[in-house]
Chains A and B, each alone.
Chain A
Amino acid sequence: MLEIKNLKKSFGGIMAIAGVNFNIKQNTISAIIGPNGAGKTTLINLISGIYKCDSGKVIYKNKDITNLAPHKIVEKKIVRTFQNLQVFANMTVLENVMVGMHSITKYEFINCILHFPMVKKQDKSIKEKSMEILKFFNLEKKANFRASALPYGEQKKLELARALAANPELMLLDEPVAGLNLTEAKMISEILLKLKEDFNITILLIEHNMNIVMDLSEKIIVLHYGEKIAEGTPTEIQNNPLVIKAYLGGSCIA
């Protein structure tokens, strides 16, 4: 479904991504892991169109989507979340999810200003759909709270809910459980499984929490200094000497 071909990106002489190749199959959960600074987030930024790559290709469903603008990528039903939360703080929880539906709704300025009945109808229907999504995430009671008033864990969930609202086929999740406690992390990983099973969403995630990564993913890609050093099932990765070396290095920091 998603093919990354020899992708390269450098920032002022530093190779952040040095020719990475991999494939993601439909309706799977895959993970990108690697030490800090390995280029994981850069990779997601390249796929989602935030950075332009220097060379290489991103192919999605046999179509070249390399260097498309972020909002065009969303039209291809690829949605991402962020490592450092990017919920819209001064909007309500419900409005956050409704913004998520931007790409699946229409009506531009003129229609919105004139507020025709069909605009009202569409607004009503996305409001209902958004409430359903909030229910799925167990956030419906806080629909009218300001997003900034939610605790961290719920903001993390809200960002997932907002991404789900865009009706994606592929989700790119940048550290979905970072900073969460054990129960919260477990809850998110259950949600992710449900997204895959019930919504048929393909997931590519970056995560440092190895328990989650090993539990969820069918495939793991290991990055180190912008290069892919291993790829395989959780068991293969756990026993790969290169990976162990990259993680443990010469020092003893795991």
Chain B
Amino acid sequence: MKKFYITLLIIAVVVLLLSTLIKSSYFLLILNLIALNTIIVIGLNLLIGFAGQISLGHAAFYGIGAYSSAILTTFYNVNPWIAMLLAVFITGIIAYIIGIPTLKLKGHYLVMATLGLNIIFSIIIVQWEVFTGGPDGIAGIPYLQIGSFSFDSDKKILYLCWFFALLSLIVAYNLVHSRVGRALMALHNSEIAASCLGINVSKYKVKIFVLSAMLASIAGSLYAHYVTFISPETFGIMFSIKLIIMSIFGGMSTIWGALVGSGCLTIISELLNFVKDYSTIVLGLILVLVLMFIPQGVVGYITQLKINNEK
């Protein structure tokens, strides 16, 4: 318990230090993207790693958050904070409605359904031009503001992104170490045994799905108000796949895995820009090798080493 908060504090200090040391806005952007990805991946870890339900469609919830924020602020002049809140609410309702029938599915059928939903979302935002700006996307999204303080630079928004990232880690930590977290792990192991101990399996699956969608939505809104321009390709199926790769890479049944996974992969994919044509090959190779030899993810691997040492 204490250890968790101390680590959290250390991370906060490191991020603050980095933010004062780093002058390049490119590196600040990477740091911010890590925070945003962490918010989504921690939701996925809860959903996949703890509750055992796969979603290959979370980029869509990220997109629903971003587009809701963008549309509400640019078309209807809604205050960005309220837009963000409404976006979370909208995403939650959509996830709830989708979740009820979808989470009855298992295994590959669940993968296909969530993947299909992501594809449907991608096509709709490209085609529904009046609302979404079609393939061009939406520009001129306002920055978030508190009083006269506007989060209008990479550095300023950094505090906001990391505030939400650390907050979502706390949310996940509290949830995992509670009655609900235990119930999720139980139904991951055996849905029948869990229900025979009084756990309402379908309700819990839908609820954790909604929670993870809402986290993605927050990240999406932050992204929209940060970059101030969004377009469809950001929220496609490829990003959903990347998110799960981050989750597995870090260790999907761990809390810190979300941070490590999104950190490593965000940095790796930026570094790969230097090898240009070879970038996808190298990315694919890294993935295959990591999954082949440390399938429990980086954090999972370290934890295992520790346990082995204690023995």
A95: Cβ under 8 A from any B Cβ = yes
A1: Cβ under 8 A from any B Cβ = no
CB neighbours of A90 from chain B (8 A)? 185, 189, 253
Highest count of chain A CB atoms <10 Å: which of B174, B178, B186, B197: B197
CB neighbours of A103 from chain B (8 A)? 197-198
A86: Cβ under 8 A from any B Cβ = yes
Q: Please, what's the 1-or-0 string for B166-199, where 1 marks a CB less than 8 Å from any CB in chain A?
A: 0000010011011111110110011011111111
**Chain A residues in contact with chain B, CB under 8 A?**
48-50, 69-71, 73-75, 79-80, 82, 86-91, 95, 98-100, 102-103, 105, 107-109, 112-115, 119, 122-123, 162-163, 166
Question: B179 to A113, Cβ gap below 8 A?
Answer: no
Question: A102 to B178, Cβ gap below 8 A?
Answer: no
**Option from B171, B185, B196, B200 in Cβ contact (under 8 Å) with A95:** B185
Question: A99 to B180, Cβ gap below 8 A?
Answer: no
Question: B192 to A70, Cβ gap below 8 A?
Answer: yes
CB neighbours of A122 from chain B (8 A)? 179
Q: Please, what's the 1-or-0 string for B47-74, where 1 marks a CB less than 8 Å from any CB in chain A?
A: 0000000000000000000000000000
CB neighbours of B179 from chain A (8 A)? 102, 105, 107, 112, 122-123
Q: How far is the CA of A109 from the CA of B207 in the complex (A)?
A: 8
Question: B196 to A74, Cβ gap below 8 A?
Answer: yes
Q: How far is the CA of A123 from the CA of B192 in the complex (A)?
A: 24
Question: B192 to A113, Cβ gap below 8 A?
Answer: no
Question: B193 to A86, Cβ gap below 8 A?
Answer: yes
Question: A50 to B182, Cβ gap below 8 A?
Answer: no
Question: A95 to B182, Cβ gap below 8 A?
Answer: yes
Q: How far is the CA of A91 from the CA of B201 in the complex (A)?
A: 17
CB of A60 to closest CB in B, whole Å:
15
Highest count of chain B CB atoms <10 Å: which of A80, A88, A119: A88
**Can you offer 14 A-B residue contacts whose CB atoms are under 8 A?**
A50-B196, A70-B195, A80-B196, A88-B189, A88-B193, A95-B182, A99-B197, A102-B183, A107-B178, A107-B179, A109-B207, A112-B174, A112-B179, A113-B171
CB neighbours of B178 from chain A (8 A)? 107, 112, 115, 119, 123
Question: B182 to A113, Cβ gap below 8 A?
Answer: no
B222: Cβ under 8 A from any A Cβ = no
Q: Please, what's the 1-or-0 string for B191-233, where 1 marks a CB less than 8 Å from any CB in chain A?
A: 0111111111100000100010000000000000000000000
Question: B185 to A74, Cβ gap below 8 A?
Answer: no
Question: B185 to A91, Cβ gap below 8 A?
Answer: yes
Question: A91 to B207, Cβ gap below 8 A?
Answer: no
Q: How far is the CA of A122 from the CA of B179 in the complex (A)?
A: 10
Question: A102 to B182, Cβ gap below 8 A?
Answer: yes
CB neighbours of A108 from chain B (8 A)? 180, 207
CB of B310 to closest CB in A, whole Å:
11
CB of B246 to closest CB in A, whole Å:
22
Question: B198 to A50, Cβ gap below 8 A?
Answer: no
| 6 further contact pairs, Cβ within 8 A, besides A88-B190, A103-B197 | A86-B192, A88-B193, A90-B253, A91-B185, A99-B194, A109-B211
CB neighbours of A87 from chain B (8 A)? 193
Question: B174 to A74, Cβ gap below 8 A?
Answer: no
Question: A113 to B174, Cβ gap below 8 A?
Answer: yes
CB neighbours of A163 from chain B (8 A)? 197
Question: B186 to A91, Cβ gap below 8 A?
Answer: yes
Question: A98 to B190, Cβ gap below 8 A?
Answer: no
Closest chain A residue, CB of each to CB of B189 = A88
CB neighbours of B211 from chain A (8 A)? 109
Highest count of chain A CB atoms <10 Å: which of B180, B201, B211, B253: B180
Q: How far is the CA of A105 from the CA of B182 in the complex (A)?
A: 12
Question: B198 to A91, Cβ gap below 8 A?
Answer: no
CB neighbours of B194 from chain A (8 A)? 99
Q: How far is the CA of A159 from the CA of B174 in the complex (A)?
A: 26
CB neighbours of A48 from chain B (8 A)? 196
CB neighbours of B253 from chain A (8 A)? 90
9 closest Cβ pairs, A-B complex: A103-B198, A74-B198, A112-B178, A86-B193, A70-B195, A88-B189, A115-B174, A112-B180, A99-B186
